[in-house]
Each structure stands twice: as structure tokens, then as C-alpha cells.
Amino acid sequence: EPEVTQTPSHQVTQMGQEVILRCVPISNHLYFYWYRQILGQKVEFLVSFYNNEISEKSEIFDDQFSVERPDGSNFTLKIRSTKLEDSAMYFCASAGTGNEKLFFGSGTQLSVL
């Protein structure tokens, strides 16, 4: 069964450093998403992406965040200058033509020290 893959599974970084989280969505999907989940809390929407542009973003997704689909297979989330409060599990998701049934990856656990 096709799946969304995310790398790395764990990322440790120093506060103020830039990080790039990588995702390979399901190959024929058109809609891409990033969510995050702080330990023990709910899954929070960050951004959705379609047709090479951001469709929607949340208040969390400020100027420190950016997304990119650099080629036909990868979807990345960049945090320019990480803060302690950016520590969370980051999930990538993709959806097909219906933009409804989201398939999630296993996440990247980001720890900012």
C-alpha cells in the first residue's frame, strides 16, 4: 500500500538553527499538508499546499516557516530560526483528487535545545 514517508525520524537542533523536514507524499496525490503535535496534545494544522502554492496556513505558520515542493516527489518544511517551542512531532500528509482523505506519514520528532 502506498504511504507517505518522512525523514529524518528524529532531528535535534540548537535554538536559532535552520531545519528542513522532508516528506515524500503518495505519488499521485495533489494536496499536501504539514501538521504538528506537541507531546500529549492535539494535532495542529500548519499549512496546506496545492498547485505549487500555499492554500491555507494557520497562525502558527509565521514568517519563520516555509514550504516547498522542489521536484515532483518531495515536499519540505523549513523552519529558519528554531525556537524551543518549535519542539514537536511534525507530520506530513497528502490527499488525492478529493482533498479529503488525508494519509499521514509517521512524523519527524524535532527537538530544539
Partner 1 sequence: GESVGLHLPTLSVQEGDNSIINCAYSNSASDYFIWYKQESGKGPQFIIDIRSNMDKRQGQRVTVLLNKTVKHLSLQIAATQPGDSAVYFCAERTYSSASKIIFGSGTRLSIRP
Residues that bind partner 1 (CB under 8 A): 4, 31, 33, 35, 41-45, 48, 50, 55-56, 58, 91, 93, 99-107
Least distance (Å) from partner 1 to the CB of residue 42? 5
The C-alpha atoms of residue 37 and residue 30 are separated, in whole angstroms, by: 23
Q: How far is the CB of 97 from partner 1 (least distance, A)?
A: 13
For the bound state, the minimum distance from the C-beta of residue 104 to partner 1, rounded and expressed in Å, comes to 3
